[in-house]
Amino acid sequence: MPNHTPLDPENPDILYGSTSSLWDGSHSIEWGIKRIAALGLQGIEPYAKQIENHRDNPLALKEKFDAAGVTMIDVSNGAKGQSTNFIDPAEIPQTIEDHVAFARDFLLPFGCDMWKCNMGKRPESGTTDDQLKRLADTLNEIGRQTIEMGIRLAPHPHIWGPVEREHEVQAMLDLTDPNFVWMTPDTGHLTLGGMDAVQIMDKYFDRIAEVHLKDTYAKYRGNSATPPQSQHFDSSVYHNMGGGGVDFPAVMKLLRERHFKGWVVFDMDGPREGDDGFDAIGGNLDLAVDDYLAHNVNYLRVILGVNLPPFN
């Protein structure tokens, strides 16, 4: 990993980056490396499809990251041919095998020390206790094998996934071994799942491997039911930072005071028709991507005091 200059004024052990979600559908990983470096951010967590063309030669891609002084944090699971079902007994063995193989063949050559993983689709009737137990057992077995490579498995509670509400987050963590399994809390998903992001992150602070920054709308705070995915398809329930759903100053206060050591990354969906700001610039996707990046980089810099250069 490059020797990054600290960006946080209070906690030099926080590293700042972005997932590839903002540009995933419009630009290559090579574009992302150059843009993230130009913005002064330190790392990228690509979606799996962003690195698909590089799976056979990870070290060639690593050279591009290293040349730009940017870290590849890890790669979100869901690569081509990779099983992501953590609850179906018939599919769990393949899920374990596929995840361990990807960690060994792709993440290990990059020197990744953590791995954010989604956990598949939510059962139509919700996640049962038996399914949560199988999910936890699956995470334990993958994590047991990846930690031998120095990679902490960090499942990602996600609305519309099997772990989206507070009792499910608690069960996942209670049923997994803290020596094998950590987590990646997402401020937006925790809020949309009816939780207080700061309280959850404080409660399970020692299990946090990475933090995703995402906002939503204030109306979703404390909800008793998660907004359906069909609603999100019509109009995004996510928002750039400053949307009113997440108390980001309180999030950063927690991470600074408790001296979090690790990655804090943007994870916003790319712009689409009907989203805030997209139509105002004529629906130009390239401009919209940079506009979204500008907004969030400046929010970190101006509102949260991170030592990032002005956007250009």
Domains identified in the chain, total number: 1
The percentage of the chain sitting over the pLDDT mark of 90, rounded to a whole number, equals 85
- Which of 87-101, 169-183, 262-276, 294-308 bottoms out in mean pLDDT, i.e. has the lowest? 262-276
pLDDT value of position 278: 57
pLDDT value of position 235: 84
Determine the average pLDDT of the residues in 61-82: 97
CATH number of 37's domain: 3.20.20.150
Report if residue 167 sits inside a domain: yes
pLDDT value of position 279: 54
Determine the average pLDDT of the residues in 98-119: 98
- Which of 117-126, 239-248, 253-262, 288-297 bottoms out in mean pLDDT, i.e. has the lowest? 288-297
Report if residue 310 sits inside a domain: no
Whether 42 shows a pLDDT value over 90: the answer reads: yes
SS3 per-residue string spanning the chain:
CCCCCCCCCCCCCEEEEEECCCCCCCCCHHHHHHHHHHHCCCEEECCHHHHHHHCCCHHHHHHHHHHHCCEECCCCCCCCCCCCCCCCCCCHHHHHHHHHHHHHHHHHHHCCCEEEECCCCCCCCCCCHHHHHHHHHHHHHHHHHHHHHCCEEEECCCCCCCCCCHHHHHHHHHCCCCCCECECCEHHHHHHCCCCHHHHHHHCHHHECEEEECEEEHHHCCCCCCCCHHHHHHCCCEECCCCECCCHHHHHHHHHHCCCCEEEEECCCCCCCCCCCCHHHCCCHHHHHHHHHHHHHHHHHHHCCCCCCCCC
The percentage of the chain sitting over the pLDDT mark of 70, rounded to a whole number, equals 96
Report if residue 308 sits inside a domain: no
Determine the average pLDDT of the residues in 81-104: 98
pLDDT value of position 275: 63
Residue that has been written with the tokens 């940017």 in this structure: 70
Report if residue 116 sits inside a domain: yes
Whether 277 shows a pLDDT value over 80: the answer reads: no
Report if residue 5 sits inside a domain: no
pLDDT value of position 175: 98
- Which of 168-177, 197-206, 214-223, 228-237 bottoms out in mean pLDDT, i.e. has the lowest? 228-237
Determine the average pLDDT of the residues in 209-232: 95
pTM of the model: 0.95
Determine the average pLDDT of the residues in 288-305: 91
Query: How confident is the prediction for the chain on average, in pLDDT?
Result: 94
Report if residue 62 sits inside a domain: yes
Q: How confident is the model at residue 282 (pLDDT cuts 50, 70, 90)?
A: low
- Which of 129-138, 176-185, 236-245 bottoms out in mean pLDDT, i.e. has the lowest? 236-245
Highest mean pLDDT: which of 235-239, 293-297, 302-306? 302-306
Domain range for 291: 14-303
Report if residue 267 sits inside a domain: yes
Report if residue 9 sits inside a domain: no
